[in-house]
Amino acid sequence: MYGLVNKAVEGLVRSKFGDDAWEKVRVKAGVPDEPFISMENYDDAVTYDLVGAACSVLNLSPEIVLEEFGKYWVLYTGEAGYGALMQGAGDTLPVFVKNLDAMHTRVKLSYPNLQPPSFRVTNESANAFTLHYHTHRAGLAPFVVGLLKGLASRFNVNMEIAYTRVEGEAPHDSFVIRWEPIS
């Protein structure tokens, strides 16, 4: 994945656990002591190794680390020069999630080798919808849960998320989402 993602993992560890914790995570993951370059494409293994190292150094499960990373990513991209892109994707939660693929297509203009996920919304009603998440990468459902929680804060809504793995011809993760505005 692009360096932007690894930089955000670094930002999460440094901001929540401190610079010493980041140093331990970096060394454990076997990552050189050099800044990540946002626009450079790194092997996915670098990101997975960083998450694995964060789990062992911080004594947290992969689900917790990925979920925290998802929440952080929504804030981070909003502040790391992508605020306008995020804003342009929609003013409400359902509009925003329906625009995720279009938003990543725009991201691809700056990151040509991007391999983005794909999202589809079904069963939409006034305060609920089902979000289908397709990717060729494994194990990232807890990351999406964190992203959704980050979006719940962004749009000031309470959210319940029920996760199911869908097997079959097009295996993917599915999330039934119920939401209501915080009054």
Binding residues (CB under 6 A) for ligand HEM: these are 1-2, 4-5, 74, 77, 82, 85-86, 100, 103-104, 107, 111, 114-117, 135, 137, 140, 143-144, 147
Q: Which two tokens stand for residue 27?
A: 């060394």
Q: Residue 16 or 108: which CB sits closer to ligand HEM?
A: 108
For residue 159 the two structure tokens come to: 């959210």
Place of tokens 């680390």: 65
Sign of CA pseudo-dihedral 153, 155, 159, 162: negative
Under a CB-based contact definition with an 8 Å cutoff, are residues 97 and 81 in contact?
A: no
Structure tokens at 71: 């929440």
Least distance (Å) from ligand HEM to the CB of residue 114?
Answer: 5
CB of 84 to ligand HEM, least distance (A): 9
Give whichever of 23 and 44 is closer to ligand HEM, judged by the CB atom.
Answer: 44
For ligand HEM, the closer CB: 57 or 147: 147
Query: In the complex with ligand HEM, which residue's Cβ is closer, 16 or 137?
Result: 137
| Residue among 111 and 129 whose Cβ is closer to ligand HEM | 111
Q: In the complex, what is the shortest distance from the CB of residue 37 to ligand HEM, in angstroms, rounded to a whole number?
A: 12
CB of 19: closest distance to ligand HEM in angstroms?
A: 24
Closest chain position to ligand HEM (CB)? 117
Helix (H, G, I), strand (E, B) or coil at 128: strand
Q: Are the CB atoms for 36 and 2 separated by under 8 Å?
A: no
The total number of residues written for the chain in this structure? 183
**Minimum CB distance to ligand HEM, residue 20 (Å):** 27
Pick from 161, 140, 141: nearest CA to 149: 161
**In 1-50, beta strands by DSSP E:** none
